Amino acid sequence: MASTISINIVFSGGLELLFGNERNHSVSIPNFVPSDNSTCSTPSSSSSSTPPSDNVVSSTGAGDTKAADLEYLIYHLRDHLLKERPELFMENGTIRPGILVLINDTDWELEGEGSYQLCDNDEILFISTLHGG
């Protein structure tokens, strides 16, 4: 089993403006991630392929991990990809209301929203329906 999974990200509806005006992104995230969604130990640009050991090690030392889910991905995008105005992307620990999320072309509300477990090569689309900000 690979230690990281690759996720394709698309931003549209104006949301791409918060991400360097780039619609398409690809990010790598570990199979297992900190339960508290802290992303500091996993910069996506790093090519480090050290697999997470069975004795869980994380930079926080907190120890709890979970299988990578969409909630974690949202934090990851905010911490590593977002260029400006994070409050237009996230609110209260989730996606800001008014931004639609599709997982492989299906409404994320049918897929468990943030608790959806990511798979290798998933495509996650974020569409803003908000105006201005």
Rounded CA-CA distance 64/55 in Å is 11
Residue 17 lies near another protein (rule: CB under 8 A): yes
Rounded CA-CA distance 45/129 in Å is 29
Strand-by-strand arrangement of the 123-128 sheet: 24-30, 4-12, 123-128, 99-103, 106-107
Residue 10 lies near another protein (rule: CB under 8 A): no
Residue 13 lies near another protein (rule: CB under 8 A): yes
Nearer to another protein, 61 or 132 (CB): 132
Piece in contact with another protein (CB under 8 A), picked from 27-35, 36-44, 48-56, 120-128: 120-128
Pure H helices in the chain: 70-80
Nearer to another protein, 60 or 117 (CB): 117
Residue 90 lies near another protein (rule: CB under 8 A): no
